[in-house]
Amino acid sequence: MSTEFNELLPVCRDEQPPNDKSQIWIIGTREQVLHTINEFYVKRIANDRVKFTPIVPAPFAAGKYMTVLER
């Protein structure tokens, strides 16, 4: 990752809380994101679709959408 992108992240590596959860970011076209959410649910990587954040336009990639799965 570039230094510029690291500065945009809300949590620095040194300041992570002890109960911090890992995240899986899914970025692509809206159809790709929806397909991946469904695939993760079918393969039981995520046991509920509620674990995903709402699909939003990716602020760093024009024409792409994103969601985050917190584990």
- Alpha-helical runs (H) found in 3-70: 3-8, 30-42
Express each pLDDT in 27-46 by its tens digit. 999 999 999 999 999 999 99
Kindly state the average pLDDT of the residues 7-16.
Answer: 60
d(CA 34, CA 19): 28
Is residue 20 a contact partner of residue 13, using CB atoms and an 8 Å limit? no
Residue 20 backbone phi and psi in degrees, to 5:
-65, 135
- Alpha-helical runs (H) found in 3-71: 3-8, 30-42
pTM: predicted TM-score of the whole model, two decimal places: 0.69
- The predicted structure's pLDDT at residue 3: 64
